[in-house]
Amino acid sequence: MKIIEKYVDVQTGEETITERDETIQEESSRLELIALQAETESNATIRQALLTRLGITEEEARILLGGN
């Protein structure tokens, strides 16, 4: 994936734009974030399906489980 970086010299206002390939570390971080977002969305879908099956709200579930 290409990374576009923009730098602005605060004294002159001159802008410099560069394009480069992402590093292995950046790619790894990006892929981990994508996986985490997918897991979070999946968990939310599962949680909502369970609440619907039980016929209760999220607040009622928290009360039943002793949460605040």
Exposure pattern of 18-30 as b/e (b: 16+ CB <10 Å)? eeeeeeeeeeeee
Contact 3, 21 (CB under 8 A): yes
- The confidence score (pLDDT) of residue 67 equals 72
Confidence of residue 68 (pLDDT cuts 50, 70, 90): low
The arithmetic mean of pLDDT across residues 8-16, rounded, is 96
Quick check: 2 pLDDT over 90? yes
At 15-67, the pLDDT tens digits run: 999 999 999 999 999 999 999 999 999 999 999 999 999 999 999 999 999 87
How far is residue 61's CA from residue 33's CA, in Å, rounded to a whole number? 29
Helix (H) or strand (E) holding 9: none
- 58: tokens are 């999220």
